[in-house]
Structure 1
Amino acid sequence: MIIIHAVIHIDLTKQQSFLEEIETLIHASRQESGNISYNLYKDTEREHTFTMVEVWQDAAAVASHNTSEHFTSFAAKASTFLVAPLDIKAFDGYLLKS
């Protein structure tokens, strides 16, 4: 399982546009084969910061997502919303059996 955290710092004046655009990305990404979850969270302390938490079945699912039309379309528009580079971290998740 691959878990991705993408911290997104946006221009406050463009927050509504950002939320509208990312809604399309979230909906389409959740429909992808290999997607376990895809959720956006708003930081409670920083008004302009969001974190996308993605969980994928494997690296192949992530690679497919990264070349999907909905992802590349959003990525092409992302710079109009951002005030800082994305901070992306990927984790290899596994479950421990008790």
Structure 2
Amino acid sequence: MIITHAELQVNPAKEEEFLAEIRTLIAASKQEEGNVDYSLKRDVENPNHFTMIEMWKDMDAVQSHNNSEHFKAFGAKAQAFLAGPLAVRMFEGQELKLS
């Protein structure tokens, strides 16, 4: 499983616009083949800091997502919302069976 954490520092004046655009991205991404989870979290100590947590079946699913029209459309608009550079961390994870 491929896990991506994308850290976004959003301009407070652009938050509503950001949230409207990210809703579209999340809804479309969740429909993609190979998507396990796609969710947005807000930092409780810094309300302008968001983390997008993506989980994908494999790297092929990630590449397909990165080439999707909805991902490209969001990427083309993202700089208008951000107050700092986008930080992305990607790693391979293994689900643990703890029971």
Q: When the two structures are superposed, what TM-score results if normalisation uses the length of structure 1? A: 0.96
Aligned to 2:45: 45
Alpha-carbon shift at residue 97 of structure 1 (Å): 5.2
CA distance in 2, matches of 1:3, 1:61: 11
Alpha-carbon shift at residue 15 of structure 1 (Å): 0.2
Q: Secondary structure at the match of 2:7?
A: strand
Alpha-carbon shift at residue 94 of structure 1 (Å): 1.1
Aligned to 1:10: 10
Q: Secondary structure at the match of 1:32?
A: coil
Q: Which runs of 4+ in 1 moved over 6 A?
A: none
1:12-91 mapped onto 2 (5 Å cutoff): 12-91=12-91
The root-mean-square deviation of aligned C-alpha atoms, in Å, is 1.0
CA 57–12 in structure 1, closer or farther in 2 if over 3 Å, else same:
same
Alpha-carbon shift at residue 68 of structure 1 (Å): 0.1
Alpha-carbon shift at residue 91 of structure 1 (Å): 1.1
Structure 1 gap ranges (5+)? none
Aligned length: 98
Q: Secondary structure at the match of 2:29?
A: helix
Structure 2 gap ranges (5+)? none
CA distance in 2, matches of 1:60, 1:67: 11
CA distance in 1, matches of 2:36, 2:47: 28
Amino acid at match of 1:45: E
Amino acid at match of 1:39: S
Q: Secondary structure at the match of 1:33?
A: coil
Q: When the two structures are superposed, what TM-score results if normalisation uses the length of structure 2? A: 0.95
